[in-house]
Amino acid sequence: MAYPKLYLLLPLFFLFASCSEASTERLSNSEAAAEQATLDTTGLARATFAGGCFWCTEAYFERLQGVEAVESGYSGGKKPNPTYEEVSAGATDYAEAVQVYYNPEEITYQQLLEVFFATHDPTTLNRQGPDYGKQYRSIVFYRTPEEERMVRAYVQQLEETGTYRNSIVTKIQPFRKFWEAEAYHQDYYRLNPNDPYVQSVARPKVLKFESAYSQLLKPEYRK
């Protein structure tokens, strides 16, 4: 199935509240863990991205046809077993990230790249909207030389077509390690519909995403 180039569509990266400071009504770790379905990831490809608050980023990717699971977590740092409190305080080198498990026969790495760049602002250094700090920096973590080539080629294409007014500052670096975040962060958008941040920031962005990219979505998310 052929899809249009997503870079021709306007990026959806405007935020109106802070992820790290949002007032939340969270499920406990045990409740969130119980909600998560066990998934056999055998045979699935993986892609890892950091593009600001992982609650929104996770929601985008989990709606895509061919994506079997998305985990929120931390990547890009060195300290073992980082915690949300450490990362959100900027006390580590980690960025909030998502790990995407996908079937490459249904969706390609190139399409994941296009969704990633279209759903956050890759031109702001250590910031997404009101969320400040290196934990919100934009990164693509590549696993193979071919993925690195694809990322660099796509960034060059975005720059040459003038998709963004400012230069792209997204880091392109090899994947080292992904640490899964605490259970209450997983599938946060679905499990916390009454959270003020979800209602005021995430939901409008996700609805716009579903409307703009309906041809890429799983059937249950198509309008």
> Active-site residues: which are they?
53
Task: Name the amino acid, one letter, at 106.
Answer: E
- Beta sheet of 138-142, edge-to-edge order: 171-174, 138-142, 45-51, 95-102, 67-75, 178-180
Asked if 14 and 120 touch (Cβ cutoff 8 Å), the reply is no
DSSP letter string, 174-218: E---EEEPPGGGTTHHHH-TT-HHIIIIIHHHHHHHHHHTGGGB-
In terms of DSSP bridges, do strands 95-102 and 131-132 run parallel, antiparallel, or are they unpaired? unpaired
Q: Which two tokens stand for residue 133?
A: 């700090």
71 forms beta bridges with: 99
DSSP letter string, 81-144: S--HHHHHTT-SS-EEEEEEEE-TTTS-HHHHHHHHHHTS-TTSTTEETTEESGGG-EEEEESS
